[in-house]
Amino acid sequence: MKLINIEDYHKYTYLFKNLKHSIPVVYSVFENMYDGVLYVNDDIKPRYAILFTLFDFHYLVGEVNETDIKDIEKLIFNTYIESHRPSELVFQSDTAINDQILRKVFKKYSDIEDKRHCYKVDKDDLIEVYYDTDFSSKIERLYEKDELSKKPYVQYVFKEKDNIVSYAKAFMIGNNEAEIDVFTEQSHQRKGYALQVSLKLVLELIETNITPNWTTWPFRKESQALAKKIGFKNTHDILSFIWVKKD
């Protein structure tokens, strides 16, 4: 596997053409919002690529076959894990064939599989909910970087005594799509804060021609309920292969 220099990432984005999910996660690396690590099987005529991000989610894309399994396994479970020491890895792919490849790669190390729910927003439903909502004056719009991002991003926050107790962030933006992160402190949940900041954020994204992505795990029932309340529809699921470091 060939490690690609960041200035050459643009040469290999075509390998991701069949990826229909996680667009802002992947392209936030290609558009230099976050660091990442890109490998291809050959830097002249590559068939496939592996992208590691700064987060838990990583990707196998392209034309992969059975003879590549050992190289992929070595890269993930030797080279990457030994050098980066992650506590968890989540791998996803661009095709059903590559899902089968990942299943064989992970078989020796982990049997954990799950599906991540993907939601797209219905603009009309969103606007209806938006104008039926009473917004607090405590909501603020921020535009700033964090400790990992190289570029600022928009977020709406709800403050109590100058402390952020709830937020909705478009923390990954790439290829005109945004990945959303929503959080509310436990002591402030069920007060409508997450609904308000999420509505503000999603409407701004739509009005600036950025497609909001909402993804969540099946066990995150509160996240699913909030997404549906805002006007998001579950469009598809992403098969995910998960490795967790043993104690």
Annotated domain spans of the chain: 2-109, 119-237
Q: What is the pLDDT of residues 29-81, one digit of tens each?
A: 999 999 999 999 999 999 999 999 999 999 999 999 999 999 999 999 999 99
Question: Other C-beta atoms within 10 Å of 75: how many?
Answer: 19
pLDDT recorded at residue 161: 87
The CATH number of 119-237 is: 3.40.630.30
Q: What is the DSSP letter of 33?
A: S
What torsion do the CA atoms of 199, 205, 207, 213 make, to the nearest 10 degrees? -90
Residue 118 near residue 236 (C-beta atoms within 8 A): yes
The CATH number of 2-109 is: 3.40.630
**CA atoms of 61 and 175, how far apart (whole Å):** 17
Q: What is the DSSP letter of 9?
A: G
Angle, vertex CA 10, rays to CA 16 and CA 209, nearest 5: 70
Q: What is the pLDDT of residues 194-246, one digit of tens each?
A: 999 999 999 999 999 999 999 999 999 999 999 999 999 999 999 999 999 98
**CA atoms of 108 and 60, how far apart (whole Å):** 18
**CA atoms of 91 and 57, how far apart (whole Å):** 6
pLDDT recorded at residue 246: 87
pLDDT recorded at residue 229: 96
Q: Name the 3-class secondary structure at 165.
A: strand
- Fold identical between 2-109 and 119-237? yes
247: pLDDT strictly greater than 90: no
pLDDT recorded at residue 176: 97
Q: What is the pLDDT of residues 112-159, one digit of tens each?
A: 999 999 999 999 999 999 999 999 999 999 999 999 999 999 999 999
pLDDT recorded at residue 6: 95
Strands 88-93 and 211-216 come out as: unpaired
**CA atoms of 27 and 29, how far apart (whole Å):** 5
Q: What is the pLDDT of residues 173-191, one digit of tens each?
A: 999 999 999 999 999 998 9
